[in-house]
Structure 1
Amino acid sequence: MSGFRRYAFAFGPLAAAALWGGMYVVSKWSFTFVPPATMGFLRVALGGLALWLGVRLTGRRTGIDRADWPAFVGLGGWVALTIATQFLGTELTNASQGSLLTVLTPVFAVALGASVLGERVTRPKAGGIVIAAVGTVIIIAGQYDLTTIAAGNAAGVGLLVVASFAWAGYTVWGVSVVRKYSALTAATYSTIAATPMLAVLAAVELAVLGRGIASIPVTAESIFATAYLGLAATAAAWYLWYKGLEFVSAGTVAVFFFLQPVVGISLGALLLGERIDPGFVVGSLVVVGGVWLVSRERADDTDHQQHGNDHQKRNDTNQ
């Protein structure tokens, strides 16, 4: 792997983290005019449409084997579970509790990567994850009152934990699909598969609330929220997230999730003039150090693994 491509995978997950930086605030705000499950459906439906148009415009031929369609449907199930539990959990919790997503998702992804895919969890990788997690806690402690994590709605916290696990599942079980086809194909058809699942949940939600689809207001605010969540936080971010899986392990890609609060708070300071305290600076440096340690260690391991694969291919050819 060349010096550039050795770390090029980082741009995808890093960009995805940037797009997710303001997602909690936008989604929480959007629930004042669109119910959570319904907004989840609108988000994924718009994102799936945008990704499908991307496939068509790039002229990419999918050529998906019929035997692989269940894998795409399975990924769609992970997506639907993630969105439903994340949005409902966000509605029921506060900002500090919402930070559980950031801390737990990489941990779940590394554990699943090791148990499901047999990915190695070396000491540098484990150490980098711990360092990045500590940095994230420092950042969150400076922004929120951590005592409120134990307060409030326990069901909402439980839903956020499930959402963290589900996104880790989407990441880990997406590895084989991404590497057989492409990041764009995997993101597109898994999102499309999730759309009818979330449509059912949205219909149930609206029925329980005694509302119809016509009750959803069409305003500048609702259009902006749906567009941001559907086009930026879904279509673009999910493709970029999966793009990282084309190069390295699921556990390595997941570590970039720790950068989400760093990017989100930085954007808030840059665009909204929000205050940044010293704890944010210290925590950000700690997070970046942990992510760098993991990405460097796995880049080295990827080189060794690739050399081993090439050697095996040569042996198979000679035989």
Structure 2
Amino acid sequence: MTAGVGRYAFAAAPLAAAALWGGMYVVSKWGFAMIPPVTLGFLRVGLGAGTLALVVTSRGESPPSRGEWPTFVGLGGWVTLTVAAQFLGTELTNASQGSLLTVSTPVFTVILGAAVLGERVTARKASGMALAGVGTAVVLAGRHDPASVAADNLLGVGLLLVASAAWAGYTVWGLGAVRRHGALRAATYSSLAATPLLGLLAAGELWYLGRSPATLPVTAESTLAVLYLGVASTAAAWYLWYKGLEYVSAGTVAVFFFAQPVVGVTLGAAVLGESLGPGFLAGGGLMAAGIWVVSRERAEPGGEPSGDRTD
């Protein structure tokens, strides 16, 4: 690997995570027609946690010690808040609201990274984030009506903002766990810790709706939705997101989140034949430029990776 390629190799992991998340909004909305949102979130995280646990077990790694579990339980709390708020908010909002509000996650991450980890918000990082944010907004404005973001369903909008802030918390407070335990173990045990918490919320949701687990449909469509959400957008994507944290700061990884809605728009055009909109190329170029600017800033006060992680 050349020095130039190696310098930016870390970007492949969070970019791949963003690509996997690109289709999540459509799949989850599709899944809500069959499975209530919190219950679908529980199935998603439970399947994702099980998949990651199989990988960890196959590697012959020992489980966390009693002293390590509080860290993973804390991260599991962030996961629970993220998934519950995200899926409830997604059910209550429309495509424009979901797509536009998701780009608030990098902003929350940079703010928390500075406040909690002492990461410097340099001029390069601020300008790159702004450039990527503008580019993503241009892409989405060509597809959705920005004026509808706060229309009617303020509860859904608020829940999506809570989900964005909670994912920023999972990213920032997870950095220490990633650097100590590696991306795979951190993603695995935080997901496992979140599963029973989401299970309790799902049980409450089904009780409130007067439904039982036996009434949930087991069809090809529902199975495919759960498989995509659990294996692709949870097990694979969460590991890849945390993998980026092994090499760079939380604020640097955060900029790749801007790619998520752009990937979603691209997939909509490729799979569903939807129009990309007149600003897609210009907005996509601005987003890519912003990500490139931030990715050039590798060294951060938030802590350098130890370099001995292999997962």
Pairwise same-fold verdict (TM > 0.5): yes
Could you state the TM-score of these two structures normalised by the residue count of structure 1? 0.92
Determine if contact 1:76/1:194 at 8 Å carries over to the other structure: yes
1-structure distance, mates of 2:275, 2:91: 25
Q: Which has the higher helix share?
A: 1
Q: Could you say which residue in structure 1 is the equivalent of 2:79?
A: 79
Deviation at 1:137, TM superposition (A): 1.0
Greater shift after overlay, 155-164 or 268-277?
A: 268-277
Alignment of 1:237-248 (within 5 A): 237-248=237-248
3-state DSSP class of the match of 1:218?
A: coil
Q: 1:29 maps to which residue? A: 30
1:157 counterpart residue number: 157
> Which residue type is aligned with residue 24 of structure 1?
Y
Matches of residues 242-281 of structure 1 in structure 2 within 5 Å?
242-281=242-281
Shift of 1:97: 1.1
Q: Shift of residue 146 of structure 1?
A: 1.3
Q: Do 2:100 and 2:137's aligned partners in 1 also have CA atoms closer than 8 Å? A: no
**5+ residue gaps, structure 1:** 311-319
Q: Does 1:40 align with 2:41?
A: yes
Distance 2:38 2:102 in 1: 21
1:161-180 to 2 correspondences below 5 Å: 161-180=161-180
Q: Which residue of 1 aligns with 2:282?
A: 282
Letter in 1 for 2:291: V
Alpha-carbon distance in structure 1 between the residues aligned to 2:300 and 2:118: 14
Q: How many residues align?
A: 305
Q: How far did 1:65 drift? A: 3.9
| Root mean square deviation, CA, Å | 1.9
Using the TM superposition, name which of 99-108 and 142-151 deviates more. Answer: 99-108
Matching of residues 17-166 of structure 1 within 5 Å = 17-59=18-60, 61-62=61-62, 64-166=64-166
* 1:295-310 matches, cutoff 5 A: 295-296=295-296, 298-299=297-298, 301=299
Structure 1 runs (4+) deviating above 6 angstroms are: none
**Offset of residue 148 of structure 1:** 1.1
CA distance in 1, matches of 2:15, 2:201: 31
Q: Which amino acid aligns with 1:73?
A: V
SS of the residue corresponding to residue 235 of structure 2 reads: helix
The whole-number CA distance in structure 2 between the counterparts of 1:161 and 1:306 is 30
Normalising by structure 2, we get a TM-score of 0.94
Query: Counterparts of 2:244 and 2:4 in 1: how far apart (Å)?
Result: 16
**Post-superposition shift, 1:32?**
0.6
The answer as to whether partners of 1:62 and 1:181 remain within 8 angstroms in 2 is: no
Q: Secondary structure at the match of 2:68?
A: helix
Structure 2 residue runs of 5 or longer lacking an equivalent are: none
Are the equivalent residues in 2 in contact too, given 1:62–1:185 (CA < 8 A)? no
Give CA-to-partner distance per residue, 1:258-286, whole Å, 9 cap, x none: 00122111122222322222211111101
C-alpha contact (below 8 Å) 2:102/2:160 kept by paired residues? no
Cα drift, residue 5 of structure 1: 3.1
Whether the 8 Å contact between 1:100 and 1:160 is mirrored in structure 2 is: no
